[in-house]
Amino acid sequence: MPSLKENIIHEALRLFSLKGFSSTSITDILEAAGVSKGGFYNHFRSKEDLFYAVLERARQIWREKVLEGVDQVDDPIGKICLVLENYRDSYLIDFENIPGGCIFITLAVELADQHPKLADAVNQGFSGFKAMITGYLNQAQKTGDLRSTVSARAVAEMVFAGMLGASVMYGINKSADDLNYAIEAVIQYLKELVRV
């Protein structure tokens, strides 16, 4: 049984994913979580305060879903492929937690101009993710699995963009086929860089 605080975070995550941060009122969250205003303010000083708790919870879900099994793969390119597959097969279809799709993208796009400080917090996750992918690619270049002529940072940029593109399109058309196609395009792209 989740605590009241956990329940508020969970319902806020769902609502932010569907409606974004600004369009979700505290009243919406109170109703969804079945909690009183007093109960809410016992745990959170403000909507911004809740935002950071939701972001932390979203990151935890992300790590659980997207990084699952990655440690058990030796080949660094294989690790990236598994990240892409997990993103598609486990994270993006987590309708219980993020019914509106990738929460990081939704918040980043919405908050960029409205709440730059909150958008920065989201962006730290993007930067960390790109650094992780760049690290795997550097490893792959050391072992000779990845062509040394390509820039690891540029490839990481393409992988990140590929996931972002796939997620935005899936958000609109909810087509599992299109999502699969877009993720496979990124995997093929990576495999081309290995093969030659």
112 binds a copy of itself (CB under 8 A): yes
> Binding residue for a copy of itself (CB under 8 A) from 6, 28, 145, 184?
184
23 binds a copy of itself (CB under 8 A): yes
> Binding residue for a copy of itself (CB under 8 A) from 7, 90, 97, 123?
123
CB of 27 or CB of 114, closer to a copy of itself: 114
Q: Which residue type does 91 have?
A: Y
143 binds a copy of itself (CB under 8 A): no
> Binding residue for a copy of itself (CB under 8 A) from 35, 55, 92, 166?
166
Cα–Cα nearest to 29, from 7, 57, 53: 7
28 binds a copy of itself (CB under 8 A): no
Rounded to 5 degrees, what are φ and ψ at 51?
-50, -50
Handedness of CA 113, 118, 122, 127 (dihedral sign): positive
164 binds a copy of itself (CB under 8 A): yes
Distances in whole angstroms, Cα of residue 113 to Cα of each of 22, 62, 117, 121 = 12, 25, 10, 13
Contacts of 24 (CB under 8 A, 6+ apart): 12, 15, 16
Residues that bind a copy of itself (CB under 8 A): 18-20, 22-23, 99-101, 105-106, 108-110, 112-114, 119-120, 122-123, 126, 150-151, 153-155, 157-158, 160-166, 168-169, 171-173, 181-182, 184-186, 188-189, 192, 196
